[in-house]
Amino acid sequence: MGGDTPVKSIKTALVGFGMSGQIFHAPLLTFVEGIELSAVVSSKPELVKSKLPDCTPYTSFEEVLEQPEIELVVLSLPNTLHYDHAKKALLAGKHVVVEKPFTITSAEAEELIALSEQKGLKLSVYHNRRFDCDFLTVKDLMDSGRLGSVHSYLCNYNRYRPDITGRWREQDAPGSGILYDLGAHGIDQALCLFGTPKSVQAKLRVQRKEAKAVDHFHLVLGYETCDVILHGNCLSTEQGPRFQVSGDKATYITYGMDPQEDMLKAGGGPASATWGVEAEDDWGTLYDEAGEGTPVPSQRGGYERFYAGMRDAIRGNAPVPVSPQDAMQTIRIIEAANLSDKEARVVFL
């Protein structure tokens, strides 16, 4: 018989089945052709079987690493576990995806990158907001030259969450707080658009009553001809513009968040015809030199593209969708931001 030999699916283990594992990883891993979600590590095996009947639940991470058929391990765990679990998976000969942020320190990230290269394994970090509708639209407007030379860039992650939930992200622990969470997304997006900044200036606060971790950040990343402002907090009753990007030809302003997260939380996913499509009422506006505003159709988002890229990288056809070096640079900027806040100064990279 003629024709190409079908490519074997990549048997994958998802480690962690909390909100992130259930909402941001499992639906995409089960959708992408060429990836087979075959194992889930969770302390609640009954929950795994109820939601993913075709998967084998494990309660032991070490046990799943012993399964020779598992090629890819996806870590959806608290930040403090990223380094240790990624290292164990690489030492076991598995390709690895780590939920963002990559690690707590850049030294840990550097060690994991060296280990993956030594082992000849693929290592990537799940910075899914590279595939947001609004960010892809900003990138398209910049790449096409419609904004001209960009001199000002603002990205907001403002929310109103005055109550402390007690989740690990809000504990007084390494890697907790909004900077490692939402801030990591904003930093990664800025790196995609502008590369590594020359300097970092930051103000970090613990604003809410009884809060233990950073819940407000204001970063200024300094570039040769542009300042990038990344802002986020948990006490804003109005989110403000999501992106406000100004060049010498036009300014683009958009409000609201990408719809994919809400779609996933509602049980939708990439198989839906409206997946990744932003409603016309949510499109951003491009303001020309005369101040006239024109709605700009948003680019179609697609978080599943991350795992399609990971599949292609493992099968040898492409680079990983997010390079670990980029993800390490995000951690370096977080470290610089912490130092800037502590010493009340600009930190030069």
Condensed to tens digits (0 to 9), the pLDDT of residues 198-254 reads 999 999 999 998 888 999 999 999 999 999 999 999 999 999 999 999 999 999 999
Note the pLDDT of residue 2: 44
Q: Is the peptide bond before 6 cis (omega within 30 degrees of 0)?
A: no
Whether the full predicted model's pTM is greater than 0.85, yes or no, is yes
**What pLDDT shows up at residue 1?**
41
pLDDT category of residue 173 using cuts at 50, 70 and 90:
confident
| Tokens coding 96 | 């690895």
* pLDDT, position 100: 97
Burial of 285 (0-12, 13-18, 19+ CB in 10 A): middle
- Section 34-39 average pLDDT: 98
Question: Around Cβ 118, how many Cβ atoms within 10 Å?
Answer: 9
Q: Which two three-digit tokens encode residue 155?
A: 């990205």
CA distance 79 to 331: 12
Angstrom distance (rounded) from CA 244 to CA 255: 9
How many CB atoms neighbour CB 341 within 10 A?
Answer: 21
